[in-house]
Structure 1
């Protein structure tokens, strides 16, 4: 017996981080979650699986219109025509209270109820699936305790949307422990909610398949579902299947051995080409962070826009039908020796002294806050959460800004000299 376990599909959820850029793959961004789901259905048909399990967050919330539901029904119709049933549990994003529109689903789709745990039995396979959908978004109680005892003589699958315990980056919905899941007596737990792949083995095999399609640069690397095979003796084999249609990458480029902007750009180009050596047919959206203590730091200071343009030119030469730039960040440090600058006894020494004392100069810090206040006041609300500097301006906590800019400014001036 074989089945596909998927979760966190978030149909029609936007991909964030590229849409503001003129070189962004707009059409791919709009359709990525649908295209990934279509590929999942394709794979189910190719593998001739016995059924499919979706463990929550099929939808990203209430539909804007009926097109999202119509798309899902069309894909389910494809599975119906080849006799593949689908068992769907709804999580926090598509909880009963979150969905304002509904459509009648094809009869091969079996949704778990939200009022209490429900069991679906597939007698010819000797399989029982147990699960409970979310009635409202914020389910903070342990649902596992009410799940039924395993069906004797069946392969029992528990379907659950949960953060388990210890996933600080995910809201703590339907919390429970690995020990509780292992003790339930089921053979497999099909989990959802955590967007990274995780697997535990023991009395039961417990799996988070991860989300189907990365939606921003924090969800980088390969994404997909799992293909689960169960042998005659009940042994379980889990195979990851990667079906994302656009992949996010975070590239760290060490510029320690670079002396110029041109050398940094060449290293970035090499890193981008290396990314495409793995699964090169899958388009990439990359965030590039330049690190290292380097003599090029002074030349890079304040040149994020220039560096971005240079990197975009490199991408264009590589072929930007497969590669897009999300962002370039410069996190380099200067090589300038502060002690040696003090020994020079010239204008640089004077400037260094001024900059070193600036962050403790009360009058200077007040003046700096006054000068920057109009910028902070004009910043839109959605930007304020993304740019810590705005809040620092408002509160007058600008020491970190001065401490960061001072050595970079010195390095830039020394290099210019």
Structure 2
């Protein structure tokens, strides 16, 4: 007996992080969640699985129009023609309280009730599936505690949308514990809600398949579902299957040995080339470059994210790879020393360093600076707000980080005139 377990598909959810840029792969971003789901349906047909389980958050909330629902009906009809039934559970994003539009689904789709747990028996396979959909998005009760006892002699599969012991990255809906799930006596728990893959083995096999398609830089790496095979002896083999159409990646570049922006740009170019050599997949990559290290270039890099991004785009163009897109360049460098060398110079630059250092603790200066900077916040164009990371600090009135970062930059630029 073989089945596919998927969750957190979020059909038509927008991918974020690239669309603000003119060079973004707009068409890929717009259809990514659908394309990933189409890949999953094709995989299910090719593998001739016995059924598919969707453990919540098929949708991303109410549809903008009926096209989202029509697309899903079409894909389910493909599975129907292949005689593959689908067992669908509603999570917080597609709870009854979130959805105002509905369409009749093909006969091969069975939906778990939201008022109480329901069970679907597949006697020809010796399987029974238990589950309970969300009625309200903010479902905080322990739904697993209401599930029925395991049916003797059958493979029992629990389908549940849950934060599982309060996963910190996700809202703690339908919380329960691993021990509680193991104690239920089910053979397999098909979970959803947490977007990262995880599996636990014990009295039960408990699996989060992760979401089907990464939607932003916080969801890096391969994404997909799991293909589960149950042997005649009841042993569960779980295999990850990847169906995503665009993959997010963080590229950390240490520029400790660089002394200026040009050297930093060249170092990033080398790391991008190494990344492409290491990645055998042909799937497109959306990359965030994180520049770090204690470096002599720290001062010159201050506020230069936009310029550095253009340099990195030039490196990508030189590589001639149309499967690599740059999401963002983030600067996270440190000054190579604490300014002691400048203080020992006993000249104007040393005096400037001392003035800037004392300004961080001067309440009168800080208030005057905050007032001046606040005046330009509302006039700044959107592009500037997104490229300068200190706007939120200025808005909150916390200028400590800004002053600490600008000090080596200002001194570095003035020192060029020595």
TM-score for both structures, normalised by structure 2: 0.95
Structure 1 counterpart SS, 2:163:
coil
CA contact (8 A) 1:12 1:60 kept: yes
1:331, distance to aligned residue in structure 2 (A): 1.1
Alignment of 1:374-413 (within 5 A): 374-378=375-379, 389-413=390-414
Shift of 1:364: 1.4
| Superposed CA offset, 1:283-310 (max 9, x none) | 0111111000112223322221111111
Q: 1:362 and 2:369 equivalent?
A: no
CA distance in 1, matches of 2:48, 2:339: 67
**Structure 1 equivalent of residue 243 of structure 2:** 243
Equivalent position SS for 2:356: helix
**Runs of 4+ residues over 6 Å off in structure 1:** 383-388
Q: Contact 2:129 / 2:157 at 8 angstroms: preserved in 1?
A: yes
Shift of 1:337: 5.1
**Matching residue of 1:229:** 229
Counterpart in the other structure of 1:182: 182
Contact 2:301 2:409 in 1 (8 A): no
Cα deviation 1:77-133 (Å, max 9, x = unaligned) = 111111111100010000011111111101011111111000000001000000000
Q: 1:378 Cα deviation (Å)? A: 4.8
Distance change >3 Å, CA 161–CA 379, structure 1 → 2 = farther
Q: Which residue of 2 aligns with 1:204?
A: 204
Partner of 1:33: 33
User: Where does residue 298 of structure 1 map in the other structure?
Assistant: 299
Q: Would the aligned equivalents of 1:298 and 1:415 in 2 still touch at CA under 8 Å?
A: no
Name the CA distance, whole Å, in 1 between partners of 2:268 and 2:110: 49
Partner of 1:265: 265
Shift of 1:388: 7.7
Any gaps of 5 or more consecutive residues in structure 1? none
**Cα RMSD over matched residues?**
2.0
Separation (CA, whole Å) in 2 of partners of 1:118 and 1:385: 48
The structure-2 alpha-carbon separation of the partners of 1:416 and 1:161, relative to structure 1 and needing over 3 Å to count, comes to farther
Q: CA deviation at 1:397?
A: 2.4
- Inter-partner Cα distance in structure 1 for 2:64 and 2:53: 25
Question: Partner residue of 1:334?
Answer: 335
Aligned pairs (5 A) from 1:6-405 = 6-276=6-276, 277-336=278-337, 338-378=339-379, 389-405=390-406
Q: Secondary structure at the match of 1:87?
A: strand
Deviates more, 1:275-284 or 1:349-358: 275-284
Distance 1:386 1:318, change over 3 A: closer
Distance 1:394 1:290, change over 3 A: closer
Q: SS of 1:251's equivalent? A: strand
Residue-by-residue CA offset, 1:191-235 (whole Å, 9 max, x unaligned): 000000011000000000000000001111110100111111101
Measured after TM superposition, the shift of residue 415 of structure 1 is 4.9
Aligned counterparts of 2:207 and 2:116: Cα–Cα separation in 1: 23
Give the structure 1 partner of residue 3 of structure 2.
3
Q: Is the 8 A contact 1:335 1:411 kept in 2?
A: no
The CA distance in 2 between the partners of 1:236 and 1:169, in whole Å, is 28
SS of the residue 1:19 aligns to: coil
What is the deviation of 1:375? 2.7
Distance in 1 (CA, whole Å) between partners of 2:316 and 2:386 is 30
Distance 1:386 1:87, change over 3 A: farther
Partner deviation per Cα, 1:125-165 (whole Å, 9 max, x = no partner)? 00000000000100000001110011111100000000011
Shift of 1:63: 0.7
After superposition, the Cα gap between the structure-2 partners of 1:23 and 1:80, relative to the gap in structure 1 and judged at 3 Å, is same
Cα distance in 1 for partners of 2:368, 2:157 equals 64
Q: Matched residues in 2 for 1:113 and 1:260: separation?
A: 62
User: Gapped runs of 5+ residues in structure 2?
Assistant: none
Listed one character per residue, the Cα deviations across residues 21-76 of structure 1 (whole Å, up to 9, x for unaligned) are 00000100000000000000111111111110000000001111111111111111
Instruction: Please state how far the C-alpha of 1:167 moved relative to its aligned partner.
Output: 1.1
Alignment partner of 1:70: what SS? helix
Distance 2:381 2:133 in 1: 37
Does the 8 Å CA contact 1:334/1:411 hold for their aligned counterparts? no
Count residues in correspondence.
416
Helix, strand or coil for the counterpart of 2:179?
Answer: helix
Kept in 2, the 8 Å contact 1:297–1:412? The answer is no
